[in-house]
Amino acid sequence: MAGIPVANTFPRLLQANAEHSGNLPAYREKEFGIWQTWTWSEVNEAVRFLALGLRSLGLERGDRFAIIGDNRPPLYWSFTAGQSIGAIPVPCYQDSVADEIAYVCEHAGVRVAVVEDQEQVDKLIEVRDRLPELRAIVYTDPRGLERYDEVEGLVGVETVVEAGRGLHGRDPEDYEREVARGRPTDIAAILYTSGTTGRPKGVLLTHTNLIEPARRAVKFDDLTRRDEVLAYLPMAWVGDFVFSIAQCQIAGFCVNCPESPETVLTDLREIGPTYFFAPPRIFENMLTSLMVRMENAALVKRRLFAFFLGVAQRVGCDILDGKRVHPLQRLLYAVGNLLIYAPLRDVLGLGRIRVAYTAGEAIGPDVFRFFRSLGINLKQLYGQTEASVYVTIQADTEARADTVGSRFPGVEVRIQDQEVQFRGDGVFQGYYRDEAATAKTMTEDGFVRTGDAGYFDEAGHLRIVDRSKDVGALTDGTLFAPKFIENKLKFHAWIREAVAFGHERDMVCCMINIDLEAVGDWAERRGIAYSGYADLARQEEVYELVRGAIGDVNADLAKDPALRGSQIRRFLILHKELDADDGELTRTRKVRRTVIGQNYGELVEALYSGRDSCRVAAEVTFEDGRRGTIEADVKIWDVDAAAPMAAAA
């Protein structure tokens, strides 16, 4: 593509941008209420001085240095500055506590830390005795640091830049020589995975690893220097590196940094990005707050909104997918676009979106369809730090809620023992100083084990069903993916939590926690009296409601040849809400299937013994910390399996 510089290290990419489009905006940041802009040539100059300045602090080729803070232009520049002199950036999560930062910095043996502000400086000072190799702490925001003059090695970024400027004045070729020494096969960054289990691992990625897949993604979505992104996700996350550094430099688009983490939504509206990434929960929150605001709107507006939302739900996705739609519906949608969808997109800050992605977790199909039906090109991708993000991706016409797309260009993906494995030029070089973990993750033929179980459907789209270790099988050998089924159940408004059983059993059964707010509201509107959760949960009408929801999930499962056999055949509604205080949920509200299986052993047996009710006594922790028991009769209902043909109709 014309204008896209072909360079194979990050410092060279930056130089090429400064040459080709020196006067175009590269970074923006809102400061004192105004968006300040830096052009590519300004950034190039800043990076050059910062690089030489960092070297004068004792940062040498091959050394590691930490970067900690919110998304700020000078922190982004420090990545490339360090890379120019052959040092390796190690970004840390800015909201980590001191101990976590100490672990990463100690493990990586960082010599210098470039940090945002007093908050991060304080953390480093707190753990400094664990970091004997740390020579200097460079801060970008001096606020509150006036009283820190006695801290050894603490220096403001301006001072470092000035030192670099002096060095450049004495030897103008110095920087170019440093950049020329860089090889595409050098390590460009060590990205520590946040690690839900155990200590974080440092993923080694080269310039080639990060640049080549990012270059293909730029081509895939036709990103150009006219695109705009808002950089608001953690800088330590591989996605931000790829979107806000790699693709920014490859496509030459401008990266906008929010004023503060609290102002992201306002900044989103002001910038109106064309290329956007957000995890599912952000889209879910947007939808919820929108619905709450509409509830409080005037009746006319509410009616209008409901009507056109109906139109969008019927035809919006098809129009976006380029499918044939009846001309009358198309006209109605155009009117809706004028009156509702366009203003709505604008309010959400998504008015100019060309390409938006979500990844990381399963997104609710309703949420996904809602955004697409409004004309927002939201798609999914599946990736990992170990892949420099990209494993699979959805093209514009194949965006679906329940898959994560097809193979990303240049990546091989295979399913081995139900596990997704991939190979390509984005594949990492190993975990830093952890050969055992590297050996466990890499296969002998160069594939990476993702630890995720999945399969390709008929259309060649990857479906992720669960973590491999959680996937089991029914006695007849049918694949049983509990989290996949539970997620499908939880996407229903009535169901708050679900626990599926089936491994080494002859069928799938599940326990349900109803959503007290949603079902309670539903019951009130129908004049069903209830005294509390336990009472509501045992009502016949509620069982009927939940059976309907499970029927939908079964119909969904029936469409899928691999999962058809794992439809839910029996269920019960638990007499109490699962609670983290009782050890049934983790603090992040993930169900602990084994704990629940033990606590409610009688119920599990009753599910599989064909009985239609079971008397239980459960130990509970009350709000005030006292412990007590609840006794109840729990009903067990059967559900019909959906036939594959009926589901297809």
CA distance 619 to 582: 8
Least distance in angstroms from the C-beta of 261 to other proteins: 9
Other CB atoms within 10 A of residue 273 CB = 26
Q: Which of 23, 129, 132, 146 binds other proteins (CB under 8 A)?
A: 146
Least spacing, CB of residue 348 vs other proteins, in Å: 17
Q: What tokens appear for 307 in the block?
A: 């009507």
Query: Long-range CB contacts (< 8 A, 24+ apart) of 129-135?
Result: 130/102, 130/106, 131/102, 131/105, 131/106, 133/109, 134/105, 134/110, 135/57, 135/58, 135/111
Looking at residues 333 to 362 of the shown chain, list those that interact with other proteins (rule: CB under 8 A): none
Cβ at position 264, least distance to other proteins in Å: 9
Q: Which is nearer to other proteins, 142 or 460 (CB)?
A: 142
> Least distance (Å) from other proteins to the CB of residue 240?
21
- Residue among 193, 266, 418, 443 that touches other proteins (CB under 8 A): 266
- Shortest distance, position 76 Cβ to other proteins, whole Å: 20
User: Which one of the spans 114-122, 160-168, 209-217, 258-266 is the region binding other proteins (CB under 8 A)?
Assistant: 258-266
Provide the minimum distance between the beta carbon of 268 and other proteins in the complex, in angstroms, as a whole number: 13
Binding other proteins by CB under 8 A: which of 63, 70, 240, 259? 259
Q: With residue 545 as reference, give the H or E element that holds it.
A: helix 540-558
DSSP secondary structure of 394-417: --GGG--TT---EEPTT-EEEEET
Q: Is 587 in the site for other proteins (CB under 8 A)?
A: no
Q: Which is nearer to other proteins, 195 or 261 (CB)?
A: 261
In the list 21, 194, 263, 613, the residue contacting other proteins (rule: CB under 8 A) is: 263
Q: Which parts of 5-44 interact with other proteins (CB under 8 A)? A: 30-34
In the stretch 520-539, what mask flags binding to other proteins with x, by CB under 8 A? --------------------
Choose between 266 and 613: whose C-beta lies nearer to other proteins: 266
In the complex with other proteins, which residue's Cβ is closer, 266 or 329?
A: 266
For residue 30, the minimal CB distance to other proteins (Å) is: 8
- CB 36 to other proteins: min, Å: 12
Rounded to the nearest whole angstrom, what is the least distance from the CB of residue 263 to other proteins in the complex? 5
Binding residue for other proteins, selected from 2, 23, 129, 147, defined by CB under 8 A: 147
Give the angle 242-247-252 at the CA atoms, nearest 5°.
Answer: 150
Which residue, 42 or 259, has its beta carbon nearer to other proteins?
A: 259
Choice between 260 and 416, CB closer to other proteins: 260
Residue 622 engages other proteins in binding (rule: CB under 8 A): no
* Torsion-angle region of 472 (φ positive above 0: left; ψ -120 to 50: alpha; else: beta): beta
CB of 288 to other proteins, least distance (A): 19
* Contact by Cβ (8 Å): 643, 551: no
Helical ranges in 132-247 per DSSP H: 157-170, 174-181, 207-220, 238-241
| Segment interacting with other proteins, rule: CB under 8 A, options 262-270, 423-431, 457-465, 586-594 | 262-270
Q: Which is nearer to other proteins, 32 or 622 (CB)?
A: 32
Q: How far is the CB of 271 from other proteins (least distance, A)?
A: 15
Q: With contact defined as beta carbons under 8 Å apart, do 103 and 110 qualify?
A: no
Contact 507, 489 (CB under 8 A): no
Q: Are 426 and 484 in contact (CB under 8 A)?
A: no
Q: Does 292 bind other proteins (CB under 8 A)?
A: no
Using CB under 8 A as the binding rule, whether residue 228 contacts other proteins is answered as no
**Calpha distance 424→393 (Å, rounded):** 14
Q: Could you tell me which residues come within 8 angstroms of residue 82 by beta carbon, excluding any fewer than 6 positions away?
A: 51, 54, 59, 65, 88, 89, 114
Measured from the CB atom, the residue of 266 and 406 that comes closer to other proteins is 266
Other Cβ atoms less than 10 A from the Cβ of 562: the count is 17
CB of 70 to other proteins, least distance (A): 13
**Segment near other proteins (CB under 8 A); pick from 186-194, 256-264, 275-283, 356-364:** 256-264
Structure tokens at 257: 């940094």
Among positions 44-73, residues that touch other proteins (CB under 8 A) are none
Closer by beta carbon to other proteins, 34 or else 646:
34
Cβ proximity to other proteins: between 285 and 416 the closer is: 285
Pairing of strands 568-573, 613-621: unpaired
As to burial, measured by CB atoms within 10 angstroms (0-12 exposed, 13-18 middle, 19+ buried), residue 249 is buried
Tokens 């084990």 map to which residue?
449
**Rounded to whole angstroms, how far apart are CA atoms 51 and 49?**
5
Q: Which is nearer to other proteins, 159 or 260 (CB)?
A: 260
Task: Of 384, 424, 423, 381, give the one whose Cα is nearest residue 403.
Answer: 381
Nearest residue (CB) to other proteins, 262 versus 623:
262
CB nearer to other proteins: pick between 129 and 150: 150
Print burial letters for 438-466: b (CB count within 10 Å at least 16), e (below 16). Answer: beebbeeeebbbbebbbbbbeeebbbbbb
Q: How far apart are CA 572 and CA 546, in angstroms?
A: 9
173 contacts other proteins (rule: CB under 8 A) = no
- Sole binder of other proteins in the list 129, 152, 262, 623 (CB under 8 A): 262
Residue 232 or 431 with smaller CB distance to other proteins: 232
Work out how close the CB of 78 gets to other proteins at its nearest, in angstroms, rounded to a whole number.
Answer: 22
For the CA atoms of 47, 49, 52, 54, the dihedral, rounded to the nearest 10 degrees, stands at: -70
Distance CA 117, CA 231 (A): 18
CB of 236 to other proteins, least distance (A): 23
How far apart CA 208 and CA 420 sit, in angstroms, is 23
Rounded distance, CA 104 to CA 108, Å? 6
Q: How many residues bind other proteins (CB under 8 A)?
A: 12
Which of the ranges 82-90, 257-265, 487-495, 596-604 carries the binding residues for other proteins, by CB under 8 A?
257-265
Smallest separation, CB 224 to other proteins (Å): 31
Query: What is the bridge-based pairing of β-strands 495-501 and 479-480?
Result: unpaired
- Looking at 159, 185, 196, 260, which residue binds other proteins (CB under 8 A)? 260
Q: Which residues contact other proteins (rule: CB under 8 A)? A: 30-34, 146-147, 259-260, 262-263, 266
